[in-house]
Amino acid sequence: MTPLTTHLSSLSLHIVSKIIYHIKFNLFAIVLISILLYYISTRGRKVFLLDYSCYKPEDSLRCSHDAFMERSTLWNIFSEESLEFQRTILEKSGLGQSTHIPEALWTLPPNPCLGLAEKEVELVFFGAVDDLLAKTGVKASNIRILIVNSSLFSPSPSLCSIIINKYKLKSNVLSYNLGGMGCSAGLIAVDLAKHLLQVHPESLALVLSTENITLNCYFGDKRSMLVSNCLFRMGASAVLLSNRPSDRYTAKYELVHTVRTHKANDDRGYRCAFQEEDNNGKVGVTLSKDLPVVAGEALKINLTSLGTVVLPMKEKLLYYANYIGRKIFKMQMKPHVPDFKKAFEHFCIHAGGRGILDTVQKGLHLTEKLLEPSRMTLYRFGNTSSSSLWYELAYLEAKGRIKKGDRVCQIAFGSGFKCNSAAWCALKTVDPAKEKNPWMEDI
């Protein structure tokens, strides 16, 4: 090989290596820029609540305290002591005279069968979804994400399949069926929808929440299981979420934060709301006397996380100064409880029972007016499980209290034990004269 040929070969190799280097560098740059753009786009993708709907059962299913006790007596299932215990619980429960129980519990004898359980689900879900689609003008075929939750009822085909079949959703709809998550499942579903909307642009998510009463009434004499009979009632909610930027101008709320707390690593928390059989093989949900205490502990953990992103700086500094003084300098002082009233104008606390509401009110130093939506929901509709938060928000709207820029805190508790929270910001002032929700005839 001549010197010239050798030189040309070396030059060619040098040029080729430089070309390969530049190609690799450019590919790396393109990949890096793509990852950064994807991260920015997903992190910055906002989630909006277009609207929601709560099902209001028919008047024929209304159940006063006397009607409830009459049914319980005529069933000839409970002992005299159990009947008297249920009467006492009802009187102290905070439930009013107009809550609702399903058809299966009106018959003599009661008929808690699968057919009537499915009928109850269809009644509450179809009613809520029909109303929601009518209010928003959204076509069911445009829904890309479907999340359904019912803690104690999981038929086959699934609840998601019932909705998909009824409304003929597209075959590529992303569907999720949440079971066993307790009364906090509504916010778990919202949190799941939020994460899915972060990675699926230009999408609508439908979140449905309920608890099935038909198959979950307890027919035994164990007192800790009888409590749930007195508290849980019919209800359901349908919530439509969107990540489409254009929907900001028509949406009611923007989802700001969600925080989830789980206490199943603590035995007391794990068993404080537990589905099991009694000594006679009757299935029910045991509600422990520790429930309010466990709820308070879970709430403290949850709000500690939420407080870091929603509280004003002054409240944060007071909290951290108090913490350092107690833990590091061993100063004798009471723990500082941040004033969440400075972070939110409204609170929707899961209407699980009077004891739970009293615990939250005391822990957060909330006024009676701030607890009014929760207490009124418990009074009018009872514990509707994971849907109760939306009845509470509907109450605020019906009263004309939601103004543009208002911040709303939803807090839910559930078996496991779980405490979940969500922070919303109102994008418009809600005019009750233009609203259609289950409170309109009562307020």
Query: With the C-alpha atoms ordered 63, 215, 126, 235, is the resulting torsion angle positive or negative?
Result: positive
Distance CA 44, CA 94 (A): 42
- Helix 313-327 with 291-310: angle, nearest 10 deg: 120
Is 160 an annotated catalytic residue?
Answer: no
Is residue 163 a contact partner of residue 133, using CB atoms and an 8 Å limit? no
Decide: 413 and 350 in contact? Cβ < 8 Å. Answer: yes
**Which secondary structure element, helix H or strand E, spans residue 160, and what is its range?**
helix 159-167
Active site residue 183: yes
Residue with tokens 């919530």: 239
Cα gap 52→49, rounded to integer Å:
8
Q: Name residue 229's amino acid.
A: N
Q: 417 and 432 in contact (C-beta within 8 Å)?
A: no
Tokens of 201: 């642009």
Active site annotation includes 212: no
Catalytic residue among 63, 160, 183, 348: 183
DSSP string, 336-376: P---GGGT-SEEEE--S-HHHHHHHHHHHT--HHHHHHHHH
Tokens linked to 276: 């099991």
Residue from 180, 129, 179, 137 nearest 158 by CA? 179
The type of residue at 122 is E
Q: Which of 63, 272, 350, 420 is catalytic?
A: 350
Candidates 346, 409, 419, 437; catalytic one: 346
222 neighbors 284 (Cβ within 8 angstroms)? yes
Distance CA 140, CA 252 (A): 19
SS3 418: strand
Task: State the catalytic residue, choosing from 216, 302, 383, 437.
Answer: 383
Q: Which of 262, 348, 420, 437 is flagged as catalytic? A: 262
350 flagged as catalytic: yes
Q: What is the DSSP string of 275-306?
A: EEE-TTS-EEEEE-TTHHHHHHHHHHHHHHHH
Active site residues: 183, 262, 346, 350, 383
